A and B are shown apart, each in its own frame.
Chain A
Amino acid sequence: MAYQYDFSSVFEYTPVLLKGIGVTIELIAFGAVAGVALGIACAWVRTQGPVWLRAPVTAYIELIRNTPFLIQLFFVFFGLPSLGIQLGEMQAACLAMALNLGAYSAEIIRAGIDATPRGQYEAGASLALSRLQVFRHIVLKPALMRIWPALSSQIVIVMLGSAVCSQIAAEDLTFAANFIQSRNFRAFEVYFVTTGIYLALAVLLRQVLRMTGRRLFRRAAR
């Protein structure tokens, strides 16, 4: 007997899906901004920062890059309350995503910084700029430009990885899909639609990042 497709049973839940999309966008917007900021800070510490900070930052990066995101998320949400830190599911999800992206982007950005020619630093020094000024104005921007495509990919990966935030009852797109599936048992239709939405979100996010990159590096590229 052929399976009778019934997509209308999914679109009955359009408000739930829309809310899920909103939460996913919220998660990635916060996660990406905080994560990249954290990544830049960590990359600076690892390349030029104070020596005493390098070991803890390296430890953080290695810890995050060598453990599953789901476990990090569970630790933040279910584990931290034991230490008296009670975070709601959105706060926990945002924090976990920022920590996760921070570690990965730190390594990507560090690669970009490492590729900066020696002469650029010397040029900066000859202009009597401080080390932080050299980093900000001379090193960071070309470094970010070099690694922007890699960083964009990492942000998209983290956005797709945000699906596991549904596990702590954050009501993101995956939560919406699972919720609808638990009500209408239309697994094929629900996950088909959800896959399409994630695909669209990822393509859209890449476009946004490409445009952001173009705007950020317009002058540097010329």
Chain B
Amino acid sequence: MKRRTLLLSLCAAASILAAPLSHADALDDIVKAGVIKIAVPQDFPPFGSVGADMKPLGYDIDTAQLIAKQLGVKLELVPVTSANRIPYLQTKKVDLVISSLGKNAEREKAIDFSDAYAPFFNGVFGPADLKVASAADLAGKTIGVTRGAVEDIELTKIAPESATLKRYEDNNGTITAFLSGQVPLIATGNVVAAAILARNPPKKPETKFLIKNSPCYIGLNKDEPKLRARVNDILAAAKRDGSLSTISQKWLGAALPKDL
């Protein structure tokens, strides 16, 4: 008997939670509430992590703050994982997802995307004094790479015969091989290169050429043209006045690419 009551009340609670929210314009709702809820990562530095004071910090958090400030509303950060960030948006637990989200056809069926706000790419990195501008220039050189990563697969296809690929177990192995001088060049993500830059090594990895480019976009729900237009306006303005580039410089150690 007791169990049945519990079950019933659970069902009731679930039905209340699941009740469809009255559909209004998302931008109007945000402005009216004076609060915007934005999903951010907390396990993916430098885009989002938790600082020593337990507060989230990173590229995505700074971007979220920029958006909230321009909208003139308070910011409520909602920590998400890469697996649940889209469900959080679809169930309207958040208004925007700024969580180093890449665009692909499958995701585009489920949600809408703003313009790109952060660079995210794989490429070959090396110190300034090493002249490499394309895959062909890798001839006779040694490049460190994380085994099985996208850049490993791609580089294996495009690197010339005489190039030597040293494949390490994980990103840390690749980073350490570069830092300890075991390899002069590495193929990795710009995020990993930023992590190396953050350690202030004697040889600073610079982008030599891109292997694969998939910048990050802000995710928002379908059929919210007003919100999307507003977000894009804010991003465009931030690109013009350099405030987005400042964020990029701060977290990725490089200015925003011109073509973003």
Contacts and interface: CB of A to CB of B under 8 A. Distances in A.
B181 A166 contact: no
B181 A175 contact: no
A179 interface: yes
B162 interface: no
Contacts of A169: 144, 166-168, 173, 177
Contacts of B168: 167-169
A16 B147 CA distance: 14
Given A81-B181, A179-B147, A166 B176 contact: no
Contact of B182 (A81, A166, A179, A181): A81
Contacts of A183: 148, 153
Nearest to B145: A169
Interface in B135-172: 144, 147-148, 152-153, 166-169
Nearest to A166: B169
B104 interface: no
Chain A interface SS verdict (over half): helix
B173 A81 contact: no
Interface of chain B, main secondary structure: mixed
Contacts, number: 40
Chain B, interface residues (CB within 8 Å), range = 10 to 19
B182 A86 contact: yes
B152 A182 contact: yes
B160 to A, nearest CB: 19
B92 to A, nearest CB: 36
Contact of A182 (B148, B176, B181): B148
Interface in A149-204: 166-169, 175, 178-179, 181-183
A178 B147 CA distance: 8
B22 interface: no
A78 interface: yes
B200 interface: no
Contacts of B153: 183
23 contacts: A77-B180, A77-B182, A78-B176, A78-B177, A79-B180, A81-B181, A81-B182, A86-B181, A89-B166, A167-B168, A168-B168, A168-B173, A168-B177, A169-B144, A169-B168, A169-B177, A175-B167, A178-B169, A179-B147, A182-B147, A182-B148, A182-B152, A183-B153
